[in-house]
Amino acid sequence: MNKAARGSLLGIEHLEAKEILSLLTQARRMNPRKPRPLLRNKRVLLLFYEPSTRTRASFEIAAKSMGAMTTLVLSSGSSIEKGESLLDTAYTLRAVGADIMVIRHPNAGAPLLMATHLDVPVINAGDGMHEHPTQALLDAYTILRHKKTLTGLQMAIVGDIYHSRVARSAIHLLSKFGARITLCGPPEFLPEVATSLAPGLHITRTVEEAVRGADAVMVLRVQKERLAGTKLRLQDYISRYQLTTARLKLAKRDVILMHPGPIIRGLELTWEVADCPQSVIVEEVHNGVPVRMAILAKALGKAN
Ligand code: NCD
């Protein structure tokens, strides 16, 4: 197989710890309010085959705040709707002068396919159930603003782990730094094989066990249509797995509550928990901008 284009960020799994640290250090130097024109005259193509609010907006703001031009291509309203293949779309966008492509796609491996056929860096903004590396980086960045280190961090991840690219990338990243990760969810959303994702993963079937003593709790979105495919009724999910104030109290006093968004209040977490002082959900979104600035600048060889 061809090699992926230089500068591409396709996943966390194959990154080295030092590459992750270097991106996080670079992100700390980025200030979207006092930008430096590192990407002047660069054309950033944002190719979104799936809905997105946070990821799309923060990539766009990150790119623009460094002086780049951005073009957004959505699957609806483009030639993708007419049946154009991913690679033909990619070649077309390269031909109009893209210097880098950011892609979100429902199929795992779509960014890799593009990166092996193009001569410009490709950034994975979420591919199917595979990875969401930029989310994992902004999550690590957020944790490190509240905790000294990732090593030994007690992390609980609750919800639909199986379908979650956010969980997969977070697990890869955190386990590279020696975090202790506990996964919790119904068996349909958390098969035992999940423990093979990284060494030292634990599974618990009760939220209470997962959250007890945690330094950080990450709650994942649960899609009602996916629940419908399981034996679990919505009400059962809520009573067994919803993060409530009482459950969050079992964590350490200085716990941080994370969620990649979009949150569904009243389902995976209560209204009260969504707005509790321990919540860093809005901060995660905020941190997405400097982290994505660092990712774009590094990918184009413009980081310093
Ligand atoms: C997530 C995604 O699309 O993977 N959202 C995000 O990018 N912050 C999580 C989700 O949609 O549940």
pLDDT tens-digit map of 166-196: 999 999 999 999 999 999 999 889 877 778 8
Instruction: Look at 35 and 90; give whichever has higher pLDDT.
Output: 90
87 neighbors 56 (Cβ within 8 angstroms): no
- pLDDT value of residue 1: 56
Label residue 100 by pLDDT band (50, 70, 90).
very high
User: Does residue 229 sit within a domain?
Assistant: yes
Give me the percent of the chain exceeding a pLDDT of 90: 84
Considering the domain architecture, whether residues 150 and 266 belong to the same structural domain is answered as yes
Residue 83 is predicted with a pLDDT of 79
Is residue 218 one of the residues assigned to a domain? yes
Q: Do 90 and 206 lie in a common domain?
A: no
- When pLDDT is cut at 50, 70 and 90, the band that residue 277 belongs to is very high
Which residues contact residue 194 at a Cβ distance below 8 angstroms, ignoring those fewer than 6 apart? 161, 162, 183, 201, 203
Q: Are residues 114 and 58 in the same domain?
A: yes
233: alpha, beta or left, given left = phi > 0 and alpha = psi -120 to 50? beta
Within the chain, strands assigned E span: 43-48, 69-74, 100-105, 122-127, 154-158, 180-184, 202-204, 216-219, 256-258
Which residues form the domain of 226?
146-279
Same domain, yes or no: 263 and 292: no
Count how many domains the chain has: 2
Does residue 268 sit in the same domain as residue 171?
yes
By most ligand atoms within 8 Å of CB, the mutation choice from 48, 58, 132, 142 for ligand 1 is 132
Ligand 1 atom nearest residue 260's Cα = 8
- Are 31 and 49 members of one domain? yes
Q: What is the pLDDT of residues 147-172, one digit of tens each?
A: 999 999 999 999 999 999 999 999 99
Quick one: which atom of ligand 1 is closest to the CA of 132?
4
Q: How confident is the model at residue 264 (pLDDT cuts 50, 70, 90)?
A: very high
pLDDT exceeds 80 at position 132: yes
- CATH code of 292's domain: 3.40.50.1370
Do 121 and 84 belong together in one domain?
yes
DSSP 81: G
Give the DSSP per-residue string, 37-73: -TTTT-EEEEEESS--SHHHHHHHHHHHHTT-EEEEE
Task: Give me the chain's average pLDDT, please.
Answer: 94
What separation in Å is there between the alpha carbon of 102 and the centre of ligand 1?
Answer: 15
Say yes or no: 156 and 273 in one domain: yes
Identify whether residues 126 and 163 lie together within a single domain. no
Query: Which atom of ligand 1 approaches the CA of 220 most closely?
Result: 12
Task: Clarify whether residues 66 and 127 are in a common domain.
Answer: yes
Structure tokens at 269: 């977490």
Residues 124 and 170 in one domain: no
Are 260 and 292 in a shared domain? no
Residue 139 included in any domain:
no
